[in-house]
Chain A
Amino acid sequence: MKDLVKRYGLMLTSYMVVASLVWIVLLVILPYFMMVNYSFRPNLVAADIGGPLDHYTIDNYITLFQNQVHFHVFLNTIWGGALVTFICLCVCYPIAYHLAKVATPQRAAFLLLLLVIPFWINEILRTFAWFIILAYQGPLNAFLKFFHIIDKPIRYLSGNGAVMVGMVYAFILFMVFPIYNAMESLDKNQVEAARDLGAPTWRIHWRVVIPHAKPGIAVGCIMTFMLAVSSYAVPSILGSTNSRWFTEIIYQWFFEGQNWPQGSAYAFILLLLCIIFILVMMRVFKVGLTDIAK
């Protein structure tokens, strides 16, 4: 603290400290604290709040495990999120490698631009674009039919398929950039050295590139998974009745059921899930928080 004052002066130091405190307390800790507080209390009419019925309970948490449909959706969301993450990784790893190590700088800049341009458009609009593309009478079916690849149109928008497509598309950048960043610092000579020693391409990746890019892969997976399980727009637009997402149920509790405590409990469970996923990824990839922060 003294050092800071010495370096930046009293005014600037106090401004930085106060601004950080306001940000952390008002915008991070307090809302979470309120949500946790809500989640352990029953849903009461205004008159009963603070009355004898208002006591702490874990009923809101138990609800999820007693409600078959909700619990099924919860599991489906975890599975869906994991699948999106995996597909994203498979799609983005080669892209990131190409950008970081194969393409010339000009070409890499051009490709990055192509990757980023779609994200200048609102997420809802992009998702609606997929809704149109994947529609029963949409251009994709028309295209496939025109070239006689299929006889009759496919119903993409029922089931999880369209949601997966939409999400992989929506989160590509969050997977590409961390891996790209990690790979950029890889010395190209190491790839050549491995090749010179006789390694085929897959082994070069397995033994040299992937170990180096591990922190980036971990960060990409964590970001993609968290965005996927907490996504609302994509599943509500591209999903169907049999592919509901856990976020939709949270939304229902808050805004249709008007049951904020119940919604908070569900939201908090989702948060716990994400934290567990982060810890698991850190363990699996043997990376620390500092690696991820890079």
Chain B
Amino acid sequence: MARSPFGFPLQLSGCNSYQGADYRIAMSQDIQLDRVTMRFGDFVAVKDVSLTIHAGEFFSFLGPSGCGKTTILRMVSGFNEPSEGVIRIGGQDMAGIGPNKRPTALIFQNLALFPLMTVWENIAFGLEVRGVPKAKRRKRAEELLDLIALSGAAEKRVSELSGGQRQRVAIARALAVEPKVMLLDEPLSALDLKLRQHMRAELRAIQRRTGVTFIYITHDQGEALTMSDRVAVMSQGVIQQISKSAEIYNDPATPFVATFVGENNVFRGQVKAVDGDWATIETGHGQLRGRNRNGVKVGETALLFARPERLNLVNGDAGAEMNRLDLTLGHVDFEGSFANLFLRSGDSQAGEQAGRGVIMQMSNDGGLPRLVPGEKLPVGFAAEDAVILADGPLAAH
């Protein structure tokens, strides 16, 4: 058994490590960012980020382009050194350790496969670098080709493969060096929608089978929410929230997260009353009540967020604890399994205070009424379906 430069065993014999369904790579490790800041000249790309990514976790950084997520990836992989702060992998400070000496493997946005090498040479490149003899390299490449269901493609050129196949080769090439951490920089962005959805499942499966920590960078919330154990939402170099997918969606911590992830209706107003975990704000639609997630105080300006699918049509005065809005139907977008109702305020002055109309989503379950634009619609939502946060920047749409 050869020792890799990372100090963990490289199992190359193929006699046991890659047989059956167990492709597990031993000892993946925690990654810790401790007050990491990255500056390029005057521009602060990453601002005082501290977080721990656990061994074996599928962790995503989600944010619009330019939010600093790729910079974090490049700092973890070693292509950039942080201006301030420490990055630790498995407890070891990575300062001064080059990308070729770190236990990380990066999958580039454009994959960066070597076009002049065959598929198996691509996969075995990391082993070639480590001085593994050719026969063993070839054997290991074949095993990894099995893992990604591409056996038989060993002698092909990269250019002969389809987009999804290239994707898998890039993953195999990274896995070949038995990294403790896999870093993926929007690797699915170049694929078409169908393939992208297929590759999500595939990436997740490979991650589960190998047990390697995956750090995934994306601006696509669908990717982040479906694949990840935890998601970090970033904006302008700052981490906005780190949570499980469902929490990110249901319980956003900042106005940015509330509007960047999924659709949201926004109502701006002054806080009138606070009782326990609840708050009431005065808006152009009257008083609205919601969960006081971050403890806003009376008199402050606050934003109330309610998801379009949590809005309902109300009949009469049903539900006294419901927030109630009297709106006029603008138009309906029929999407198939659901329809989006675009609504505006009855008195056109009060509405669109936050610059947006109100969107309501109705599922097409047979109960979809006949709707006529211009019709008056009373709409309601429960207080527990609304989140009140202190005023702050929203995500650009």
Contacts and interface: CB of A to CB of B under 8 A. Distances in A.
Nearest to B125: A197
Contacts of B116: 211-212
B132 to A, nearest CB: 11
Nearest to B110: A189
A151 interface: no
Contact of A187 (B110, B117, B125): B110
Interface stretch (A11-19, A140-148, A199-207): A199-207
Interface string A186-215: 010110111111111001000110011000
Contacts of A190: 112, 114
Contacts of B101: 198
B129 A196 contact: no
Interface string B106-126: 101110111011000000011
Interface string B293-319: 000000000000000000000000000
A30 to B, nearest CB: 43
Contact of B129 (A187, A199, A211): A199
B125 A194 contact: yes
Contacts of A199: 100, 125, 129
A200 B101 CA distance: 10
B126 A192 contact: no
B129 A193 contact: no
A192 B70 CA distance: 14
A222 B271 CA distance: 79
Contacts of A200: 100, 129
Contact of B98 (A193, A194, A195, A203): A195
Contact of A196 (B77, B117, B130): B77
B346 interface: no
B98 A187 contact: no
Interface in A98-151: none
B105 A197 contact: yes
B110 A198 contact: no
Interface in A26-79: none
A113 B114 CA distance: 32
A197 B129 contact: yes
Interface residues of A, number: 17
A291 B65 CA distance: 38
B79 interface: yes
Contacts of B117: 207
Contacts of A208: 114
Contact of B114 (A192, A195, A198, A207): A207
B112 A192 contact: yes
B99 interface: yes
A192 B78 CA distance: 10
Nearest to A189: B112
Contacts of A196: 77-79, 99-100, 104-106
B100 A197 contact: yes
Contacts of A187: 110, 112
A174 to B, nearest CB: 25
Given A187-B112, A193-B112, A207-B125, A198 B77 contact: no
Contacts of B177: 197-198
Given A198-B5, A198-B177, A193 B100 contact: no
B324 interface: no
B97 to A, nearest CB: 12
B285 interface: no
A212 B109 CA distance: 20
Contacts of A192: 79, 99, 106, 108, 112
A192 B109 CA distance: 12
Interface string B5-36: 10000000000000000000000000000000
Contacts of B99: 192, 195-196
- Specify which of B110, B117, B126, B129 lies most central, judged by the most chain A CB atoms within 10 Å of its CB: B129
B173 interface: yes
B3 to A, nearest CB: 14
Nearest to B77: A196
Contacts of A195: 98-100
B182 to A, nearest CB: 11
- Specify which of B78, B104, B105, B108 lies most central, judged by the most chain A CB atoms within 10 Å of its CB: B108
A125 B77 CA distance: 52
Contacts of A207: 114, 117, 125, 128
Nearest to B170: A193
Contacts of B106: 192-193, 196
A217 to B, nearest CB: 14
Contacts of B78: 196
Contacts of A198: 5, 100-101, 126, 129-130, 177
Given A187-B110, A189-B108, A197 B77 contact: no
A88 B106 CA distance: 36
Contacts of B5: 198
Interface in A150-195: 187, 189-190, 192-195
Interface of A: 187, 189-190, 192-200, 203, 207-208, 211-212
Interface of B: 5, 77-79, 98-101, 104-106, 108-110, 112-114, 116-117, 125-126, 128-130, 173-174, 177
Given A192-B79, A194-B125, 12 more contacts: A187-B110, A189-B108, A192-B99, A192-B112, A193-B113, A194-B114, A196-B79, A196-B106, A197-B173, A198-B5, A199-B125, A207-B114
In the A-B complex, the 8 residue pairs with the smallest Cβ-Cβ separation, listed nearest first, are A189-B112, A197-B126, A193-B112, A198-B129, A211-B116, A199-B129, A196-B106, A189-B108
10 contacts: A189-B108, A193-B106, A195-B100, A196-B77, A196-B99, A197-B125, A197-B129, A199-B125, A203-B129, A207-B125
